[in-house]
Chain A
Amino acid sequence: MSTTWWALSVAILGCYAAKIAGQSVPQRFLTTPIVHEVSDALPIALLMALVAVQTFAVGQLLVIDARLAGLAAAVVALMLRAPFLVVVVVAAAVAGGMRALGWAT
């Protein structure tokens, strides 16, 4: 089995374990204030880190390329309350367009 398949299987099991744990464990285990606050902050930290890295990183290098224009377009679309698919398509179109025009790499 390849590494990707192993990773896929373990990640799937891990995510299901979180779901079933919530349905099964006694309430007191997960309701301490600190666990609650951290789990509130966790998705924000991880998702924003992913935004930053996926916009600027190529491997371990930091670069500015058409993806930044795509991200800016996505933020504008979100501020205009566009639905998810529109946000993603607008970002891709702006980045692809800038490359086609030779304005960015």
Chain B
Amino acid sequence: MSSGPGTAEAHWHVERRAILVNALGVGLATGAYGVSFGAISVTGGLTVLQTQLLSVLMFTGGSQFAFVGVLAAGGGAVSAVATSVLLGFRNAFYGLTMAPILRVTGLQRAVAAQITIDESTAMAVGRSVEHDDGHAARLAFWSTGLSVFVLWNLATLAGALGASALGDPRVWGLDAAIPAGFIALVWPRLRDRRSWAIGLSAAVVALALTPLLRPGVPVLLTSVVAVVAGVLAVRRRAEAA
């Protein structure tokens, strides 16, 4: 049972191949979101150029969907900005997780930050960093991030151009595609009773405030639900300890 340099090299060869295949697979799957984002954004009133700039420069799906969703619903610019930035806040935590593994500075860090999203972080933290000094985790991060970036942007363009050719969005039910997109985005996070309670409370609060406030503001105010949930969780843990 010797594990000479040859064995280690062969093992790395297999692992590297698996990481790259996974990265491509995640990129292709994310492309499906990209097509719907492009289509929803253009039917929501943004131009193809604005839609594409969101995918290149914002490059974080939930925030992009929220930005065009709030504007399409007649919400103000401030609500659209605030909702999308609040949703993008989680990427700061992904960055926090990735920084000690990536160990990059300068321009490399600037690029790494841009591709620090759900998918690249998930694929990287799925790799153990103990026995290879984070080599596999870094490859998973960069390959997944770049694969998603390229395919997300190509898919956005296809969706945006396709939707501009369709005409009235209501005839095709494309207005129903927007809530469907949001429920599909949140679905993996609704994993227990607590997350369902947070989600349903937020839905009720948003609907109750809709007749009273400008479109976009009710959604934004449900961030209070998240703050209350966070405070309760911390207090409960303190009591249990």
Q: Of residues A42, A53, A84, which shows the largest number of chain B Cβ atoms within 10 Å of its Cβ?
A: A53
Quick check: B207 and A53 within 8 Å, CB to CB? Answer: yes
Residue B225 contacts which of A21, A35, A45, A84 (CB distance < 8 angstroms)?
A: A45
| B21 interface contact, C-beta 8 A | no
Asked if B91 and A91 sit within 8 Å, CB to CB, the answer is: no
Interface class of chain B by DSSP: helix
Contacts of B219 on A, CB cut-off 8 Å? 46, 49-50, 53
Contacts known (A42-B226, A96-B171); A22 close to B180, Cβ less than 8 A: no
Most chain B C-beta atoms within 10 Å of own C-beta, residue among A18, A66, A85, A97: A18
**Helix, strand, loop or mixed for chain A's interface?**
helix
B67 interfacial by beta-carbon distance below 8 Å:
yes
Within 8 Å CB of A15, what residues of B? 58-60, 63, 84-85, 88, 91
Contact A16 B57 (CB under 8 A): yes
Asked if B35 and A85 make an inter-chain contact with CB atoms under 8 angstroms apart, the answer reads yes
Q: Which partner residue on chain A sits nearest B77 by CB separation?
A: A7
What is the 8 Å Cβ interface bit string for chain B, positions 196-237, against chain A (1 contact, 0 not)? Answer: 001111111111001111110011001101110111011001
Asked if residues A12 and B58 are in contact (CB atoms below 8 Å), the reply is: yes
Contact with B along A30-64 (1 / 0, CB 8 A): 11011111111111111111111111110111100
User: Which residues from 1 to 41 on chain A have a C-beta closer than 8 Å to any C-beta of chain B?
Assistant: 3-8, 10-12, 14-16, 18-25, 27, 30-31, 33-41
Q: Which residues of A contact B69 (CB under 8 A)?
A: 50, 54
Contacts of A51 in B (CB 8 A): 179, 182-183, 186, 203
Q: Are B176 and A49 in contact (CB under 8 A)?
A: no
Contact A50 B113, beta carbon cutoff 8 Å = no
Number of A residues, CB within 8 Å of B? 78
Contact with B along A69-84 (1 / 0, CB 8 A): 1110111001000011
Q: Are B91 and A37 in contact (CB under 8 A)?
A: no
Question: Which of B99, B210, B225 is close to A53, meaning CB atoms less than 8 Å apart?
Answer: B210
Are A18 and B83 touching (Cβ within 8 A)? no
**Complex: how many Å from CA A95 to CA B184?**
17
B71 contacts across to A, CB distance below 8 A: 4, 7
Q: How far, in angstroms, from A6 to B78 measured CA to CA in the complex?
A: 10
Total A-B residue contacts, Cβ distance less than 8 Å: 313
Q: Are B92 and A22 in contact (CB under 8 A)?
A: yes
Question: Closest chain A residue to B96 by CB distance?
Answer: A22
CB of B50 within 8 Å of the partner chain: yes
Is B46 in contact with chain A by the CB < 8 A criterion? yes
Are the C-beta atoms of A44 and B90 separated by less than 8 Å? no
Please report the C-alpha to C-alpha distance between residue A19 and residue B60 in the assembled complex, in whole angstroms: 10
Does B134 sit at the interface, judged by CB under 8 A?
Answer: no
Beyond A4-B77, A43-B87, A53-B206, whether A71 also contacts B179 by CB under 8 A is yes
Instruction: Give A40 to B233 CA distance when docked, in angstroms.
Output: 11
Contact B57 A88, beta carbon cutoff 8 Å:
no
Q: List CB contacts (< 8 Å) of B47-99 with chain A.
A: 50, 53-54, 57-60, 62-63, 65-67, 69-71, 73-74, 77-78, 80-81, 83-96, 98-99
Closest 10 A/B residue pairs (Cβ):
A22-B95, A70-B176, A96-B173, A91-B180, A95-B176, A95-B173, A38-B230, A14-B85, A85-B32, A48-B199
